[in-house]
Amino acid sequence: MLNVGKKILVAIDGSPQSDKAAEEAVRLATGSGSRFKGKLYAMLVLPGMRAPSFTDFFPSPPATERPDWEHNRSRIFYVVEKGASDAGIDLESVVHYGDAGDEILSFADQEEVDVIVIGSSGAGRVKRALMGSVSTKVALHARCSVYIVR
């Protein structure tokens, strides 16, 4: 079990696996009812870049600037925000653009997190070999502990 006031990063994407990871991250941050609660970061990584490049003829606005963004954001972050609020955990929600594995690793290093909690997609061996797995990449390259939730 984690000790006093750890920094925990949970990677979310709105999937059932990431919701389970969010629940587990909140549980870890509470420290078994200890008065020393951890700091929780919830991170969503969207594909692509925030700003369109000059080669885009008809660039679409980034996901965070679309009219339905607030609805989508509240749906994706709902489980972690509700769990953190109910448990009295300090939560910071962040959205980044780019490769999910790279962004998670970079943020974890920048914020000096103690553990990364991430859901496993459950992808088979062939799909993982062809497309790669974010949880595998994070587990292999993180400088801190990684907790993969199934």
Mean pLDDT, rounded, of the chain: 84
Give the pLDDT confidence of 17-26 residue by residue, as tens digits.
999 999 999 9
Can you give the CATH number for the domain in which 37 is found?
3.40.50.620
Looking at residues 104-124, what average pLDDT do you find?
89
In a domain, 144, yes or no: yes
Rg for the chain (alpha carbons), in Å? 16
Q: Which residues, at least 6 apart from 57, have a Cβ–Cβ distance to it below 8 Å?
A: none
**Sign of the torsion formed by the C-alpha atoms of 147, 22, 114 and 100:** positive
Q: DSSP alpha helices (H): ranges in 98-150?
A: 100-111, 125-131, 134-141
Give the pLDDT confidence of 46-100 residue by residue, as tens digits.
987 655 555 556 667 777 778 888 999 999 999 999 999 999 999 999 999 999 9
Domain count, the chain: 1
For residue 100, give its domain range.
Answer: 7-50+59-149
Single-letter amino acid, residue 83: G
In a domain, 77, yes or no: yes
In a domain, 2, yes or no: no
In a domain, 79, yes or no: yes
Q: Which of 119, 120, 121, 117 is nearest to 147 (CA)?
A: 117
Rounded Cα gap, residues 84 and 38, in angstroms: 10
In a domain, 112, yes or no: yes
In a domain, 141, yes or no: yes
The pLDDT score that the predictor gives to residue 146 is 96
CB contact at 8 A, 62 and 98 = no
pTM of the model: 0.84
In a domain, 68, yes or no: yes
